[in-house]
Amino acid sequence: MTLADYLVPALLYIGVFFYAAGSLGLLRFQDAELRLHALTKADNVGLGFVALAAALHWGSVAVAFKIAAVWLFALMAAGATAQLMARRAKTAAERGTDR
Amino acid sequence: MPTLMHLYPLTGAALVGLGLYGIVTLRHPLRQLLAVNVVGAGIFLILGGLGRGTASTDPFPQALVITGIVVAVALTAFGAALVVRVAEEERARDDTAAVEATGDSA
Amino acid sequence: MTLAFDLILCLMIVGTAAAALLTHNALAAIVFFIVFGNLLGLAWLAMNAVNVAMAEIAIGAGITGVLLILTRQRLMALGDDLISAETPGWLRAGAVLACTGLTALVGSAVLSVAPADDLGGPIAALLPELGIENPVTGVLLAFRAYDTLLETFVLLGALVAVWSLAPGNAWPRPPASLNLAESGGGSVAQAFGRLLLPLALVMAAYLVWAGSDFPGGAFQAGTVLAGGLIIAAIGGAVAWPRADNSILRAVLVLGPGVFLIIGLAGIALGRFLFYPPGFAKAMIVAIEYSLALSIGATLALLLAGRSVAPDHRS
């Protein structure tokens, strides 16, 4: 067993923990902004740990770069959609409707 | 003889049944369109799942499934356009009916 | 993949499909359908069918999901509340009986066939002649090229059919704008769209190129392109063209056209869709690049919908 053999599952468990925390926040938080905050922040950290585990598992620099690109795309998409959804939630709240 | 390899095609069979139930019981055309897509996904799963070997899946059904997915999205897009057009026609008919009704009473 | 993973995945697939069909809220149904499509993509991945997994997630979940959401929005703007009327109990009971019976029938038919990778070997033996390594691309563009050629015409035909639903006073104006900036704000969406479109182009070009030897190909690449176009349209970076724009029409028929011309040229060498030995890969890649461009434009326009009249409120 090398160090990577312990590190990969450890990173996966940490990633899953953040995912679980994000999902819990999505279910338990009261308003749209808080839920978005849980979803985009915690889940993207979780995805980062899972990506790190995957990169270590394959152990190739080229693959690691591709996985890093995937994570960056996910971050950008999460940021942009979260901003759109928050704006939508804000205007909806100002109008007094729920959609 | 059932084997573990049958798991995905059997899931496909369940999806076909579920989707057909949706087509029969859902009354809104957009929801029925969604149900058609579920049936399609089930058929793809049967088709691809039965080509599953020990280490690989038969590329021939894979290619057929990709073709099927693209044709399904084309069908869904046309269906959705038809649903919107029908809703527009109904809306226009209701509007003219409303205008005529107020015209009579005036 | 372990049995537990497969079992849980299959249960989740059936569960999300049931939720998508049984819930009363139309938006919830569409969201469950998108989750269902992504889980199906995982199922294809578990079956080592990476090409199908990409197509299912990008087209089955992504494009179809966006299409359903847009259609819901258009219907709600027309005053349709999207509530599915209650069906009578006897009908539901009958449907449960009939569909359970049918599922049992299909299930027993499935069980009578032993899953086997029968054609994988013969196809792999034929691939060196083509000079490509992805067997699915080989089937799509060489061994069953006829199917794929017709499929591209189906896609084009669907767009023509959608366009033909435009009212007379709207044709050939552009489809309804998806631009969020018009309805107040949206600078983040704008920047994201500007950033993503060129990246989507690079990614699509890579997917076609890699698709000869690794999972990927024209359909996956075309979908990435369509996704980039949609996000750029939402951000206001691109505006939908008019339906009689000649450049647009050239892009739409480029893929099917190149495919058809290369296919017809094959007749001179022997038969329809015959690639000259040694040039097969060049022909396939040329067809795939033009196809990816056409598929991307067609899928994006299928989502955008038909021409709208100038006074239309979207």
Residue to test with chain C: of B43, B46, B62, most C Cβ within 10 A = B62
Q: Tokens in use for A54?
A: 């995957």
Q: Do C189 and A79 touch (CB under 8 A)?
A: no
Q: What is the pTM of this model?
A: 0.92
- Chain A residues with CB under 8 Å of C184 CB are 91
pLDDT in tens, C168-204: 888 888 998 888 766 655 678 888 888 899 999 999 9
Provide the residue ranges of all domains of chain B, joining segments of one domain with +.
4-105
* Model pLDDT, residue B106: 43
Q: Which amino acid is at C234?
A: I
Domain ranges of chain C: 1-84, 120-314
Report in angstroms the alpha-carbon separations of C157 from B71, C153, C252: 11, 6, 11
B4-105 is classed in which CATH architecture? Orthogonal Bundle (1.10)
- Closest by CA to C52, choosing from B11, B7, B50, B64, is B64
Mention every residue, 6+ apart, whose C-beta is less than 8 A from residue C66: C230, C303
Q: What is the full per-residue pLDDT of chain C (314 aa) written as tens digits?
A: 578 999 999 999 999 999 999 998 999 999 999 999 999 999 999 999 999 999 999 999 999 999 999 999 999 998 888 888 888 889 999 999 999 999 999 999 999 988 888 888 888 888 888 888 999 999 999 898 999 999 999 999 999 999 999 988 888 889 988 887 666 556 788 888 888 999 999 999 999 999 999 998 999 999 999 999 999 998 888 889 998 999 999 999 999 999 999 999 988 888 888 888 888 899 999 999 999 999 999 999 999 998 888 764 44
Q: Which two tokens stand for residue C164?
A: 């033909």
Q: Would you state the pLDDT for residue B86?
A: 92
Of C189, C195, C199, the CB nearest to A84: C189
C149: closest chain B residue by CA:
B67
DSSP letters spanning A12-47: HHHHHHHHHHHHHHHHH-SSHHHHHHIIIIIHHHHH
Contact C10, B31 (CB under 8 A): no
Residues 143-202 of C with CB under 8 A from A: 180, 184-186, 188-189, 191-192, 195-196, 199
pLDDT in tens, B20-76: 999 999 989 999 999 999 999 999 999 999 988 877 889 999 999 999 999 999 999
